[in-house]
């Protein structure tokens, strides 16, 4: 049994997990990729997925240059970064001198009914999917989106404010 067994969409999630765990012998990255593709498929996302290991970009450079190289390789015009990357991107921001706009995710976690009472945010996509199902997943995720932050907007804020 699983802590998610009592959820309305457990059977669906259990099938996804079982299929994804078949990739576990290929490593954690392969498992994660399979989970991401499986969730995307279930909720109707058909965007192209690219493994950064398949992109011919020098990954020996620093993280910021590596990200910019990936963006250029894929023809990306805007890079949406998690706020947790602010410190190193603020320290060295190659995006400011290039044609790729740098934005930071501004997300307010929406609440939804969880079977164990109360609400615990930022559990996992699997946990949310088990509770709200494929039809409720995208509307839930999208309801937490806010206008993206710019690097200028985040400068001078404390870690708690980020």
What string of pLDDT tens digits covers the 162 residues of the chain?
788 999 999 999 999 999 999 877 888 888 999 999 999 999 999 998 888 889 988 877 788 999 999 999 999 999 999 999 999 999 989 998 899 999 999 999 999 999 988 899 989 999 999 999 999 999 999 999 999 999 999 997 777 776
Distance between CA atoms of residues 94 and 9, nearest Å: 44
Both structure tokens of 71: 């963006």
* pLDDT value for 162: 66
Identify which of 149, 73, 70, 43 has the alpha carbon closest to the alpha carbon of residue 106: 149
CA torsion sign, 46 to 32 to 148 to 150?
A: negative
């Amino acid at each position: 049994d699983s802590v998610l067994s009592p959820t309305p969409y457990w059977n669906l999630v259990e099938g996804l997990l079982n299929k994804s765990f078949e990739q576990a012998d290929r490593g954690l990255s392969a498992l994660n990729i399979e989970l991401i593709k499986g969730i995307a498929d279930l909720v109707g996302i058909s965007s192209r997925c690219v493994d950064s290991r398949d992109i011919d970009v020098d990954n020996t450079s620093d993280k910021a240059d590596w990200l910019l190289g990936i963006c250029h390789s894929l023809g990306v015009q805007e890079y949406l970064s998690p706020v947790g990357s602010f410190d190193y991107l603020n320290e060295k921001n190659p995006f400011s001198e290039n044609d790729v706009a740098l934005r930071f995710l501004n997300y307010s976690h929406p609440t939804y009914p969880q079977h164990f009472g109360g609400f615990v945010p930022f559990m996992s996509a699997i946990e949310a999917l088990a509770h709200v199902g494929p039809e409720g997943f995208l509307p839930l995720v999208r309801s937490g989106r806010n206008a993206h932050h710019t690097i200028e907007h985040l400068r001078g804020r404390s870690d708690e404010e980020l």
